[in-house]
Structure 1
């Protein structure tokens, strides 16, 4: 086969099969994920908190904005991925996303899983304390809790 025949066959095959376009969507990621440029989404959503965390873990008191931006991109990517995984678990289950789905996603990371359990326990503890503080009998008795010194 000559070179011109091979080139002709290659060009004729390329006209049969259209070129594959790369998808422009971000694979189901919500707007504001790390696939979008920083200037198209709200800048430094977690900036103040990340600066404090970075300082607490040994960085300078006022870290560079670029470093905070990179950290924020990483945090947003992690949160998005974790939420997408929890949504996939909930979808397989056939229901809405709930706390158990996040526990399932974090099942292989004992530190994160124990922190979730601790926060859930503290949330329940605070809810119980608020419920006890709002008992109506305390407000109705003579010299009730409203007038009591703290």
Structure 2
């Protein structure tokens, strides 16, 4: 942990830099990287924050799952995306794991490093496993073809949601 020496009314004291910001009270302080080796988002203007929301989910969601946001009595609610209907196309991915009824953190940004067993190359929303992707586009009548990104490794998917097309 980094530390520095500060003059406190003529006395020297050791100080630990802040990892997060609490706004104006944090003015003129030195910052340090967080436990993941990055600057905490609270240190940046809100306009630079990633496109993320905390939303209730209607089923158990696992971090990394492709998710669909839909309306439940005026509330945006999350479920696993699956290529069996246009109504369940992918909109984002889960950053956290949550049980049904709990809130899940959803990202609409482009880097999903929570994948498992991905094959590098184009990824499409799966029509057989909810929340997952596949390298083979669905081909059965009534299924939906939606490109969701490019996998660069077994765990990293560069999200880029394409249009969802229902097959005739």
Name the TM-score, length of structure 1 as normaliser. 0.24
Structure with the higher helix share, 1 or 2: 1
In proportion to residue count, which structure has more strand?
Answer: 2
Provide TM-score, normalisation by structure 2: 0.22
Q: Which has the higher contact order (CA 8 A, sep 6+)?
A: 2
